[in-house]
Amino acid sequence: MRLISQLHEERKMTPLGRIWQAFVDNPFALVGLWIVGFLVLLTILAPFIAPYSPEAQHSHAILMPPSWDQTGSVEFFFGTDDLGRDIFSRVLHGVQLTFGMSLLIVLVSLTIGSIIGAISGMMTGLKSSILGHLFDALLSIPSLLMAILVVAVMGPGLTNVFWAVGIALVPQFIRAIHQAVHDELQKEYVTAARLDGANTFEIFWYVIMPNVWDVLIIQVTMAISAAILDVAALGFLSLGAQAPSPEWGAMMAQGLDNLLLAPWTITIPGAAILITVLSINLVGDGLRSALAPKRN
């Protein structure tokens, strides 16, 4: 009886409900989702909960260790840097610059890439083949290298990093959407919809797109991880955020001179990058597993 009722409940679940159930059954994906949600909350509330300004200098607490060290103080939970700035406050403000800006970058790249990819994917024949090979060529260039090339032309700074990383990520979205739409266009149900009198827009929006959302969602999670690493890497190379910015990559670069004397000035922002990217990858893997039965 219990098995029958369980099967009955599964039949009543919507396709979205089944995907969500498969996702929450993965504990690692669920932990990653909680961390990502917490980071989104910090992105909004960081200026209000940070105990100090990210540029505030405390001359009486130069290179103070974190609070769990014997010589540390609860007043400076993650310790201070060589200028007496509170690392905890700087990491909190850095969430907006590294994680928050990466979300905006991906949103802009997603919008541009989806439009171009959808239009090119609906093309057929020689034009579609040429565009496919062109996108493959663009994807052969790593996103970080392309971002470095763009920043080298435009100059350093957060605004230029925004556009540099965004431009570097657009080809990934174009290629993913182009390939997904092009593959769906060959399916028999698309031919059936065309024979029923559906126009090109109706075929794209009502027939093809419902089967492309899963590819788009997975691509977004991968792009967010890549954007975070690219923004942090450019900051670390002094091509992105400039001192005294609390961007995590720039914080690591600013702490290099004190690596042996005060390793926490590098390890703490580095751990923030690691945890953020790891949590997003866990969410992406969970979504990939949850959507796999649908794709199969």
Looking at domain 18-295, its CATH superfamily turns out to be: MetI-like (1.10.3720.10)
Q: What is the pLDDT of residue 128?
A: 66
The span from the CA of 278 to the CA of 289, in Å, is: 16
Contact criterion met (CB below 8 Å) for 235 and 247: yes
Q: What is the pLDDT of residue 9?
A: 52
Q: What is the pLDDT of residue 227?
A: 94
Contact criterion met (CB below 8 Å) for 122 and 185: yes
Nearest in space to 231 (alpha carbons), one of 189, 276, 262, 201: 276
* Count of beta carbons in the 10 Å neighbourhood of residue 260: 6
Contact criterion met (CB below 8 Å) for 63 and 262: yes
Per-residue pLDDT of the chain (296 residues; tens, 9 = 90+): 555 555 455 555 677 778 888 888 889 999 999 999 999 999 999 889 999 999 988 888 888 999 888 888 888 889 898 888 999 999 999 999 999 999 999 999 999 988 888 888 787 766 667 776 777 777 777 888 888 888 888 888 888 899 989 988 988 888 888 888 888 888 888 878 887 877 777 887 888 888 888 888 888 999 999 999 999 999 998 888 887 889 999 999 988 888 888 899 999 999 999 999 999 999 989 888 888 755 44
Predicted TM-score (pTM) of the model is 0.88
Question: CB-based contacts of 3: which residues, under 8 Å, 6+ apart?
Answer: none
Q: What is the pLDDT of residue 239?
A: 87
The span from the CA of 280 to the CA of 28, in Å, is: 11
Burial class (CB in 10 A: 0-12, 13-18, 19+), 3: exposed
Q: What is the pLDDT of residue 98?
A: 93
Q: What is the pLDDT of residue 296?
A: 46
Find the helix or strand (DSSP H, E) in which 286 lies.
Answer: helix 264-295
